[in-house]
Amino acid sequence: MRKSLTALAALATAALAIPVADACTRILYSGAENAFYVGRSMDWAEETGTDLWAFPPEMKRDGGVGEGSITWTSKYSSIGAGFYNVATVDGMNDAGLTGNVLYLAESSYGDAKASGKPLLSIGGWLQYALDNYATVQEAVDALSKEPFALVAPVLPNGAAAAGHLALADKTGDSAIFEYIDGKLTIHHSKKYTVMTNSPVFEQQLAISTYWDTVGGSNFLPGTSRAADRFARMSWMLNAVPAEKDEATAMAEVLSLMRSISVPLGIQDPKLPNIASTRWRTAADINAKRYFFDNVHTPSVFWVDLDKLDLKAGSSALKLDLQGTPYLSGEVSKDFKPAEPFKFLAPKS
């Protein structure tokens, strides 16, 4: 037992040295009576140029990387957050499937062109899932067959595009998808309720096991590093009560995300895994209600997916958030028709 704890402690210490380009956190909160909520923070070294986008069903798509791109027609409508408006990194569809892409420095997608498979930009990874699947089980079954190869071009800011994907649904099911050394690994269980960045998810679980032996009421690691945030949030998520009232449950989710956030203006060029929180989201899966919390504005706003005019054949809709407009309450009326953004593509 002592040897195993020593090994876990060594793993926890080693994880502190892993550099990461951002410091996001994702949680899956279980309310009372089988109500589920997903919270997420976006921590990044600069503003992410994020707008909110809503897409209709029966929308024709392609993988965004030119010749050899995979093609599909969306089955579900969805709402999501654009990242530099070249990637969907957060969102939910009208079936309740909710997804979040977080940075993972260890990601390695292999030689996409040599795979012989249709190609998909990493910017469209989450959107592909939201467009095609209603449940986590459905997504796991389909994506485990690897119907495409991911292409990860450089981001507009020059950073490597590298991430892992978390999915949750209205049953409380959860799955984490990672590509390590060119191979897809899927962690699928309702117990996988927290995800941060490095190290890879399997090692995050081991680190959490170590801190469980310490006991969160006695001591928890306090830095903004990914491994510490994973341990801290795992304890806090289990410590808070399962609320029945929707408004109270959502307040609890947002309070958890704020508790793990990095204050605006705190940056360390020598520690790229510490980056300011830019925005937070929270998804009420059962109500199909999507909350957005921009750190530059004083209030939270939300979108009821059912209030958007997203029928087959309708145009994509955009909520322009450039200039950080002050929004509050339900804002579906503020979405305007817009040409969908193009997924991140290799530079020609």
Task: Give per-residue burial for 113-137: e unless 16+ CB within 10 Å, then b.
Answer: eeeeebbbbbbbbbbbbbbbbbbbe
**Both tokens of residue 82?**
């654009």
Catalytic residue among 24, 54, 65, 87: 24
Question: Any catalytic annotation for residue 24?
Answer: yes
Contact (CB, 8 A) for 161 and 344? yes
> Tokens 């994880």 label which residue?
15
Cβ-Cβ contacts under 8 Å for 134 (sequence gap 6 or more): 75, 76, 93, 95, 96, 97, 169
Pair type for strands 317-319 and 52-55:
antiparallel
Using alpha carbons, list the distances in angstroms from residue 197 to 16, 17, 162, 200, 316: 11, 13, 10, 7, 31
Coil, strand, or helix at residue 289? strand
**Which residues belong to the active site?**
24
